[in-house]
Chain A
Amino acid sequence: MRRISSDYDHERYDPAAPVVEIGVAKSGSADPAIRLTALVDSGADATMLPIDVLQTAGGRYITTRKMRGVAGRPIAVEMYLVKLFIGPLTFLGIEAVAMTPNSDAILGRDVLNQMIVTLNGLANVVELSQ
Chain B
Amino acid sequence: MSVMQAYQGVVRQGRIQITPPAELPEGSEVYVVVTGQPVRLTAVAGVLHVSPDRPAMEREQEAFRQMLPELLNRYRDQYVAVYQGQVIDHDRDQTALVMRLDQTHPEAAVLVKRVTAEPERVLRMPSPRLSRDG
Contact = CB atoms under 8 A, between A and B. Distances in A.
A97 interface: yes
B123 A78 contact: no
Interface in A42-59: 43-46, 48, 50-51, 58
A1 B54 CA distance: 42
Interface string B105-134: 000011111000000101111111010100
Prevailing SS type, chain A contact patch: strand
Contact size class for A?
Answer: 35 or more
Among B57, B58, B61, residue most surrounded by chain A Cβ atoms (within 10 Å)? B57
A70 B57 CA distance: 26
Contact size class for B?
Answer: 35 or more
Given A77-B123, A98-B51, A72 B57 contact: no
A45 B54 contact: no
Contacts of A27: 95, 98-99, 102
15 contacts: A28-B99, A43-B127, A44-B126, A46-B123, A48-B125, A50-B49, A61-B57, A65-B120, A66-B120, A69-B126, A70-B127, A72-B42, A75-B45, A78-B49, A100-B49
Interface of B: 8, 20, 39-51, 53-54, 57-58, 61, 94-95, 98-99, 101-102, 109-113, 120, 122-128, 130, 132
